[in-house]
Structure 1
Amino acid sequence: MSAARPSEATLRRLERASGALATQAVARMDDTLPWFRSMPADQRSWVMLVAQAGIASLVEWCRHPGRPPRLGGEVFGAAPRELVRAVPLKQTVDLVKVTVEVMEDRVTHVAEPGDAEALRVAVLQYSREVAFATAHVYASYAENRGAWDARLEALVVDALVRGERSDELPGRAAALGWATTAPVLVLVGHTAPDVDDLHTAVRRAARSMRAEVLVGVHADQLVVVLGGVADLGPVAERVSREFGPGPVVSGPAVDSLALAADSAAGALAGLRAAVAWPGAPRPVPADELLAERALDGDPLARAALAERVAGPLHATGGGVLDTVHAVLASGGNLEASARALFVHPNTVRYRLKRATELTGLSATDPRGAWTLRVALALSALDGGRSLWA
């Protein structure tokens, strides 16, 4: 601070004028800052409080020049934390600039004779301190907000992993900027051991394709929630590159985040069972692992095989079902199947086409044949206690 500091008489006059100066500063903000005019009345009143507190802190600083100003508590503490959320840093700089300009303009009216220059210098030096304090307040808020966001994101992802189906989940995710309704899917795999900031890498990959994303790590498992685009397949394929070695499984797409626990359940069950399919694509849809999941004891997969595969085949009658059994027994040889059934090979082809239409699986495709075998075997083991009836 300058050796020639404002006199006590000038500081007392400045104290008495603090309310009027704050009012003039707000009036000038209203005249010169279009965005300020559109602010709600409560936020405008907070700005008034901050301006008055700033002037009072200036007086105290001038009286004790060796003590650094406590701007965080004395000035910015005059307004609630909501003001930091409502007013971006750039706009806050504009507010400080206008307030300093008003104080500079009123120096000659406030200062005692011969004190104007000392007060002007004090105002300029103090405005520099305010600028540093403003940056610190916003940096602290950003740091705290980042930590809070990370905790909230972890809670949301953890809830999905635990199977929570709650209408509160979309609200929690909305606080993180999540605006997606449908579709949503969950992608799971193992973490990459050599990546320091896995969360950032995954977010960058998803957002490069304009997708919304939530990320969580559970032990050595990486759980990613994707949404925001109509076709999430390419997004899942891109994000899967950020996972560590091993399978990556995508759960079925659901209509909202409130239902994403269903997608997470399928993906996690698929990840446990994927070891049984060494050549699985990456990512592999959980529904393509129904056979492995059923053998692993997943009741949802077993019910899905009954409903989607065994049930429709049994409902068609003996011809189609017997043909599927014959083709599976012959290793996919249609001619041998036709001889075993005493029918023409074209009849076998027709019946297989019908079976594929019903189940989405082909008995002549290795993966389709495997899934059909497991579904029909489980159906036989049920011994008539069909899940599809």
Structure 2
Amino acid sequence: MTDDAAAGTPAPVPGRSATRVPPDERPVSDALLKRITRYSGTLSTEAVRALEVELPFFAELSADQRAEIQLIIQSAVRDFVTWMRNPDAQHTDTIAGFKLLPKGLGQGLTLQQTVQLVRSTLEYFELVMPRISHNERQRGLMIAAVLKFGRELGFTAASVYAAAAENRGAWDTRMEAMIVDAVVRGDRHADLTSGASALNWDPTTSATVIVGTPHPDLGIAAVPAVHNAAVAAGRHALAVVQGARLVVILSGELDSVLSVPAALLESFAPDEPVVVGHTVGSLGDAPGSAAEALSG
């Protein structure tokens, strides 16, 4: 006879668990997760209504943008359920939705606005989700899960916008190189104005072409150095390194090389000549300025 039997404690029945988990200690049930999935549409609609009250800029969005955001929220609810079952699961639907937002990083939402959307939506879910749970422990688990999931979504949004910014940066670089190359070639038929406008170049401003050798310590990094120097001087600049040559198109009038902002000249090799073409009335006439600068 065992000690348990002697003590009057029944022996465990083979094939059954020796102990049962009390109801209050059970994790969030599948039934609750299914209920959340089933009501994802209603939850997203109510969340959008809350956003309209919470965020002033939300009312200024187009109907299409608000519809996209509602779909993203609905996807996030489904992803939340998937994540609750498997914390290692990827937020595939939500990531795909976030990619709809930073269209050109100008036509869509800014990263700051997206962060505000995520924060306000999660604050709403913090209030609503626990109300459909079964007990206090599940409510606590649900609140903790929403907070952790929100952090994951925050990183997801930041990653998507970072990738969009990188893509836009690469596009800007290619467009800038194409515009400067067309000016150097003397291509007056190229659509310089529209491409430059996408790079924030004012089509009504005058332009001057400057040619020289890039500073040996900078190489292709001379291009962003030119941009920074131009902005500091209250101007705009388009620049490209073509082999051993740095070509800059600077907005505004220049009388001579002495009129070039000193910080911009630092992007050129100090022991090599820097030639300034004559100022023209617009970017479309810049090939004439380039021809003069290239002729030395």
TM-score range, shorter chain: 0.7 to 0.9
- Residue 49 of structure 1: how far off its partner (Å): 1.4
Q: How does 1:231-270 map to 2 (within 5 A)?
A: 236-238=260-262, 239-244=264-269, 245-270=271-296
Contact kept? 1:53, 1:74, Cα under 8 Å: no
Summarize the Cα distance change of 1:45–1:67 in structure 2 as closer, same or farther, 3 Å threshold.
Answer: closer
Distance 2:45 2:249 in 1: 49
Summarize the Cα distance change of 1:4–1:210 in structure 2 as closer, same or farther, 3 Å threshold.
Answer: farther
Distance 1:83 1:38 in 2: 18
- Residue 68 of structure 1: how far off its partner (Å): 4.4
Pick one of 164, 179, 187 that aligns with 2:202.
179
Distance 2:245 2:145 in 1: 58
- Residue 71 of structure 1: how far off its partner (Å): 6.3
Q: Which residue of 2 aligns with 1:274?
A: none
Q: Which residue of 1 aligns with 2:44?
A: 22
Distance 1:209 1:232 in 2: 16
Q: How does 1:75-94 map to 2 (within 5 A)?
A: 75-77=97-99, 79=100, 81-82=102-103, 84-85=105-106, 86-94=108-116
Distance 1:72 1:130 in 2: 8
Pick one of 154, 174, 178 that aligns with 1:151.
174
Summarize the Cα distance change of 1:230–1:194 in structure 2 as closer, same or farther, 3 Å threshold.
Answer: closer
- Residue 93 of structure 1: how far off its partner (Å): 0.8
- Structure number, greater radius of gyration: 1
- Equivalent position SS for 2:233: coil
- Equivalent position SS for 2:295: helix
Q: Which residue of 2 aligns with 1:95?
A: 117
Q: How does 1:98-109 map to 2 (within 5 A)?
A: 98-109=120-131
Residue identity matched to 2:153: V
- Equivalent position SS for 1:182: coil
Residue identity matched to 1:266: E
Which is bigger in relative contact order (C-alpha 8 A, separation at least 6)? 2
Name the count of aligned residue pairs: 266
Residue identity matched to 1:82: K
Q: Which residue of 2 aligns with 1:218?
A: 242
Higher helix share: 1
Pick one of 140, 144, 155 that aligns with 1:132.
155
Distance 1:258 1:59 in 2: 56
2:232 corresponds to 1:208: yes
Q: How does 1:35-54 map to 2 (within 5 A)?
A: 35-54=57-76
Q: How does 1:318-333 map to 2 (within 5 A)?
A: none
Residue identity matched to 1:267: A
- Residue 167 of structure 1: how far off its partner (Å): 5.8
Pick one of 84, 87, 94 that aligns with 1:62.
84
Contact kept? 1:206, 1:235, Cα under 8 Å: no
Summarize the Cα distance change of 1:126–1:187 in structure 2 as closer, same or farther, 3 Å threshold.
Answer: same
Residue identity matched to 1:99: T
- Equivalent position SS for 2:49: helix
Residue identity matched to 2:244: D
Distance 1:13 1:180 in 2: 57
Deviation per CA, 1:60-115, whole angstroms, max 9, x where unpaired?
111223434446645424x3651854211111111001110111111233324453
Residue identity matched to 1:63: R
- Residue 30 of structure 1: how far off its partner (Å): 1.0
Residue identity matched to 1:27: R
Contact kept? 2:95, 2:156, Cα under 8 Å: no
- Equivalent position SS for 1:203: helix
Summarize the Cα distance change of 1:166–1:41 in structure 2 as closer, same or farther, 3 Å threshold.
Answer: farther
Contact kept? 2:75, 2:93, Cα under 8 Å: no
Residue identity matched to 1:28: A
Q: 5+ residue gaps in structure 2?
A: 1-24
Q: TM-score, normalised by structure 1?
A: 0.64
The alignment's C-alpha RMSD in Å is: 2.2
Q: Which residue of 2 aligns with 1:302?
A: none
Summarize the Cα distance change of 1:199–1:72 in structure 2 as closer, same or farther, 3 Å threshold.
Answer: farther
Which structure 1 residue ranges, 4+ long, deviate > 6 Å from structure 2? none
Identity over aligned residues, as a percent? 37
Pick one of 146, 153, 172 that aligns with 1:123.
146
Residue identity matched to 2:237: V
Summarize the Cα distance change of 1:121–1:9 in structure 2 as closer, same or farther, 3 Å threshold.
Answer: same
Q: 5+ residue gaps in structure 1?
A: 271-389
Distance 1:8 1:25 in 2: 23
- Equivalent position SS for 1:186: strand
Distance 2:93 2:166 in 1: 19
- Equivalent position SS for 1:24: helix
Deviation per CA, 1:273-295, whole angstroms, max 9, x where unpaired?
xxxxxxxxxxxxxxxxxxxxxxx
